[in-house]
Chains A and B, each alone.
Chain A
Amino acid sequence: MQVSMSDESNRHVFDIYRDLMMAVQDHTSGEEEVSLKSIHSMVSRANATFKEVKRPQEAAMDAQFLKTCGHLVKLNIESSQSNLRVFKPCEFARKFINFVSQDDDMEEQVQPEAENLTHLVRFGRAVSGLYMGAIGIEPMSSAIDWERPPASQRRKRDKENDNTVNITKPTQMAPSTEEEEGDAEVVAKMYKVLKQRYHEAGNTPLCYFSFVVDPKSYSRTVENMFNISLIVREQFAAITEDDNGIPVIAPLHRSHPQVVGSRGVLPPILGLSETLRSRENG
């Protein structure tokens, strides 16, 4: 009894799959088109029937049925999307060139081999409006001309000599560097200017402040004061006070250094400080 029931159910399953296969094969032969909806309903029926499959024969039929349905679906998609294009870059490039060339204003046909890339230039000007980039940014007169500073290199630590203290004793005077030579040139130039102004003023001492102060540049003023101090130290010039107590400067002849002060040495910076202090007090 049980055997007959199982045979009967197996036969039932077999019949179902046979009917489904026949329906699908009819569609495959191309006699009539099949819709996705009908394929879906057939697959759903096969899924429901598969639960009762107990023999490999019906299982093989189920697999064959699904394979055929897949093929039908693929045919269905291809037929419905037969108007789709496949993108081919080189074909598109040729169409692009023809498209750009289609201009009544152009006198010559654009050649892609032209080195001036006229077609790209025209195309670029036409499509520049597509970009939502930030436009109109102009450099602000190098105010933001910034370059990444070079990375500082770490000095290798000399572990062996960490605990020792190296004492260096100077053995001789270091030769003058380029900076010192540059300073000497500036001082010489300033001395020349001083002499010239002195002669223009009728060989009368010049007001020290008028000579060194640059009203537009504080740094230049400080430089002038430093250079004058070098000139005075070398006794090429002297700073004294006039009748009104204002410091004045005058060039000296090197062969006749002028002795000022009780020590016989010119203390230019100290003298100026005392002068200013006495002016404040007086």
Chain B
Amino acid sequence: MPRHTRIEDSSGGEEEGEEYEPPSQSQGRSQLTQQDLTMHAGLVCNLLLANEHKKIPTKRQDIRKLILKDQARHFPAIMKKASELMERVFGYKVKELEDKNYLLINGLGVSGGERISGTKTQAARTGLITAVLAAIFMTDTQKMKEAVMEEYLKTLGVDVQSKANPVLGNVNKLIYQDLVREKYLEVSLDKFTDPPTKEFRWGERAHLELNKKEILELVCKIYGDNMDPKMWTAQWKEVEKEASGTTRPS
């Protein structure tokens, strides 16, 4: 960062836009100019977009090491600026996860209706994710055991152990690795069972991108007979919690 000599006019004030830095001051203690702030925020935005294209949360550590480097002390200000830029320019909201990583969600609201889902594989993937998340949401504990999940998917026509599905590809990798990495699912180990079994629950991205009321209404639509969503009392409580803004990932 270039050092600027102090410029004083007759009024005794500093030149507008310049940051004063005494020659003896080290670079690490320097103030961040507006131009540098915008530049770093722009780079952070690029990183967020690049990672979001791959559906990977952006790590705070990556932002600090790759972009901020010696400006890491200004991380809060830069992230705030980057969030403002993302919302203003792209209409995306930057959401911080529990592990201090970041991802983007649509800040403009869902347009509703059918949206073009790209290729057949992407559409099948979206359908599978939605079916899985809906089933997990409808369980009493918001968790689904591995064996139950495999049976459920088998009934849907998807073999979890398949590694060469013509549409979904490696289904096992998709469910246990890809969707977990993208934060749609969380797979945890239940150590209280013998032998320990895996459990599926909603991931943080699922909590942010999906509306539980819509999922519940979708399930009721699938059941048919004009089922009232309030019949599912546990799920309806979750819906009310989400509406009041008190829901946190379980």
B243 within 8 A of A: no
A68 to chain B, nearest CB (A): 26
The chain B residue with its CB closest to the CB of A136 is B90
Beta-carbon contact of B106 and A87 below 8 Å: no
Q: Which B residues are in CB contact (< 8 Å) with A113?
A: 157
Query: In the assembled complex, how far is the CB of residue B18 from the closest CB belonging to chain A, in whole angstroms?
Result: 32
Cβ 8 A contact of A130, one of B116, B151, B211, B222: B211
Is A115's CB under 8 angstroms from B166's CB? yes
Give the chain B neighbours of A126 by CB distance below 8 A: 114
Q: Specify which chain A residues have a CB less than 8 angstroms from the CB of B111 in the assembled complex.
A: 129
Chain A proximity of B23: nearest CB distance (Å)? 34
Q: Which of A117, A130, A133, A134 contacts B157 (CB 8 A)?
A: A117
Interface size band for B:
35 or more
- On whether the beta carbons of B104 and A121 are closer than 8 Å, the reply is no
**Neighbouring B residues of A96 by C-beta, 8 Å:** 131, 156, 222
State whether B130 touches A127 (Cβ < 8 A).
yes
**A125 CB within 8 Å of chain B:** yes
* B124 A90 Cβ-Cβ under 8 A: no
| Least CB separation from B215: chain A residue | A130
Q: B227 contacts which chain A residues (CB < 8 A)? A: 85
Which of A137-145, A170-178, A264-272 lies at the interface? A137-145
Q: With A87-B139, A124-B124 as given contacts, are A93 and B115 in contact (CB-CB < 8 Å)?
A: no
In the complex, whether A226 has a CB less than 8 A from a CB of chain B is no
Complex: A135 Cα to B116 Cα, angstroms: 11
**Residues of B195-246 contacting chain A, CB below 8 A:** 205, 208-211, 214-215, 218-219, 221-224, 227, 231-233
A264 CA to B158 CA, complexed, in Å: 84
> Within 8 Å CB of B152, what residues of A?
89-90, 92-93
Query: B22 in the interface, Cβ–Cβ < 8 Å?
Result: no
Q: A96-B131, A120-B128, A129-B113 are in contact. Are A115 and B167 (CB under 8 A)?
A: yes
Question: B162-183 toward A: CB 8 Å interface, digit per residue (1/0)?
Answer: 0001111000000000000000
Q: When the two chains form their complex, are residues B53 and A131 in contact, meaning their CB atoms are under 8 A apart?
A: no
B224–A135 contact, CB under 8 A? no
Choice from A97, A115, A116, A130 contacting B130 with Cβ under 8 Å: A130
Out of B50, B120, B138, which one reaches A144, CB within 8 Å? Answer: B50
Q: Is the CB of B127 within 8 A of A83?
A: no
A129 near B209: Cβ-Cβ < 8 Å: no
**Range of interface residues on A (Cβ < 8 Å):** 35 or more
Interface string of B115-155 (1 = CB under 8 A from A): 11100101111111011000100111000100011011001
Q: Shortest Cβ distance from A83 into chain B, in angstroms?
A: 6
The reply on A209 being an interface residue by CB < 8 A is no
> In the complex, A130 Cα to B134 Cα: how many Å?
12
**Nearest CB on B from A22, distance (A):** 34
CB contacts (< 8 Å) of A129 on chain B: these are 110-115
Among B105, B109, B151, B233, the residue within 8 A (CB) of A90 is B151
Interface pair A144/B233, CB less than 8 Å apart? no
User: Is A50 engaged at the interface, CB distance under 8 Å to the other chain?
Assistant: no
For residue B213, give the distance in angstroms from its CB to the closest CB of chain A: 11
Q: How far is the CB of A109 from chain B (nearest CB, A)?
A: 13
Partner of A95, one of B114, B117, B205, B223: B223
| A81 and B233 contact, CB distance less than 8 A | yes
Asked if A219 is an interface residue, CB under 8 A from chain B, the answer is no
Task: Please give the distance in Å from B37's CB to the nearest CB on chain A.
Answer: 21
Q: Which residues of B contact A135 (CB under 8 A)?
A: 106, 115
A201 at the interface (CB under 8 A from B): no
Asked whether A92 and B219 contact (CB < 8 A) given A112-B157, A115-B167, the answer is yes
Assess whether A48 is interfacial by the CB under 8 Å rule: no
Q: Which of A84, A94, A120 contacts B155 (CB 8 A)?
A: A94
> Separation in Å of the B197 CB from the closest CB of chain A?
15
**Is there an interface contact between A115 and B210, defined as CB atoms closer than 8 Å?**
no
Q: Is the CB of A130 within 8 A of B127?
A: no
Q: How far is the CA of A124 from the CA of B124 in the complex (A)?
A: 6
Residue A114 at the chain B interface, CB threshold 8 Å: yes
A122 contact from B127, B138, B158, B232, Cβ within 8 A: B127
A residues in contact with B115, CB < 8 Å: 125, 128-129, 135
In the bound complex, residues from chain B placing their C-beta under 8 Å from that of A130 are 110, 130, 210-211, 214-215, 218
Check A134 against B123 for contact (C-beta < 8 Å): no
Known pairs A130-B210, A134-B106. 5 more at Cβ < 8 A? A87-B138, A113-B157, A117-B168, A123-B131, A129-B115
Supply 11 A–B pairs (Cβ within 8 Å), ascending by A: A84-B231, A87-B139, A90-B155, A92-B152, A95-B222, A96-B222, A120-B127, A120-B167, A129-B113, A134-B105, A135-B106
Q: Which 9 A-B pairs have the closest CB atoms?
A: A124-B127, A112-B157, A124-B126, A120-B127, A93-B155, A124-B123, A123-B127, A144-B50, A89-B152
A interface with B by C-beta (< 8 Å):
81, 83-85, 87, 89-90, 92-97, 99, 111-117, 119-135, 137-139, 144, 146
